[in-house]
Every structure is written in C-alpha cells, then in structure tokens.
Amino acid sequence: MAQAQAPGQGGTVVPPDPWDPLVRISHWAIAAAVIANYLLTKPGGIWHVWIGWAVLALLGIRLIWGIIGTAEARFSAFPPNPRAAVRHLFDLFGGRAREHPSHNPAAAIMVYALWACLATVTATGLVMTGAKSPVTIAEEKAAVAAGDWSVLVKPDGEGENEGDDNERGLGKAAGEVHEVAANLMVVLALLHVAGVAVESRALGRNLVRPMILGRRRRR
C-alpha cells in the first residue's frame, strides 16, 4: 500500500519515496547493459550475448516485480493511458506540473515502450543465436578457432535444404528487427533523459536522486 502523501512548502504535495532497491538496481543495470551492448561490445560476440541474457533476466525479474512488488512498482500504479499522458504534457509545458506517487502518465507510456523494445531486442537476439547459451557459443567459437568445424554441422549430416533456407531467412529478418528495435530504444532512452530533465526543472527537484539513493531531498 502506498504511503500517505505529506504537504511540503506552500501546500505542495510531496509524494512518498517510491523507488525500492529492486526497481533502482534493475533500472541502472539495464541502462548500463544497453549502453554496453550498443556502444562497446561486438554484435554477436560472446560478451554481447552474455549481456543480452543478463538483460533478459533483469527484464523478467522487473516484470514479475510489477505484479507482486511494492505499490509504486506495480503496473496498477502506472497503467498506460495515452490521453492522460497528453494531458500531462500540456500541463507540464503550461507550467502546471504536479507530483505523482509513481511514474507520471507520460513516463508510464515511455516505460512500457522501452520494455517493449527490450523484449523485442532480446527475443530477436535469441532467434539470431538459435537460443544457444553464451557458454555453448563460446565453446563453438573456440572449437572453430582450433580448426574443428564439426560443431557447426547438424546431427543429421544433411546438406543445404529448404529448412536451412527458411532458417537463414528467419535469422536475417530477426537481425533487421533487432537493429531497428535497438536504435528505437536508444532514441526513446534519450527522450526519457530529456523528459526527466524537463520535469525536474518544472517540479523544482532532482528526479534522478531518488532513483539513485531511494529517497527524495525534503524541502
């Protein structure tokens, strides 16, 4: 159950500290993983795959927490509502910004959009790698580097067939979707950062601080 809100200076309602440790850790861990895989790791490389599996685990944990977690972390606290999001943006840029106990309506839309992109990126990544674990991929790469190509031969020993062509076509399509979703996710993340900056200025407080420390500076 959400904590009661307390009035701040000038009658401004100051909401409770909303972000529990799991929300904060998963938020920054996923952000770091996205930056690493987008800018630092080699696409298809072993570290890229390891980080992708880590993101999949973090996303799964966060989604489960959205059902059983603290009040502010649950999906019911920030349902996607496009009409409310538009109203919030008009209020924000009209100088009528107000506090919300969890994500504001516009931020809620952004959260679901980012999660959708993450799910798409990880799902297409699994398709591209045949859902092989990072350990299996590392072993195959090591075997090929040592000159043993047998690890890449299918058990039935058959050559190219229609199934192989379909598999390559699916992999190519997954790769294209993977790239588009990854680029879209980065654009949305940049818009998210800009939105946080605008909202922080409008509310007169640092919205990043509670996501790091788990508490807001009392005024």
Place of tokens 């999001």: 85
State the pLDDT at residue 116: 97
Alpha helices in the chain, H assignment, sequence order: 21-35, 46-68, 82-93, 105-128, 134-145, 162-203, 208-213
Q: pTM for the complete prediction?
A: 0.83
pLDDT at 153 over 90: no
Token pair for 89: 């943006």
In a domain, 8, yes or no: no
In a domain, 110, yes or no: yes
Give per-residue pLDDT as tens, 98-133.
888 889 999 999 999 999 999 999 999 999 998 888
In a domain, 186, yes or no: yes
Indicate the number of domains in the chain.
Answer: 1
pLDDT at 166 over 50: yes
CATH of the domain at 120: 1.20.950
Element (H, E) at 14: strand 13-14
Burial-class residue 72 by CB neighbours within 10 Å (0-12, 13-18, 19+): buried
Range of the domain at 208: 18-213
How far apart are alpha carbons 134 and 140 in whole angstroms? 10
pLDDT at 207 over 70: yes
State the pLDDT at residue 139: 81
Mean pLDDT for 2-31 is 67
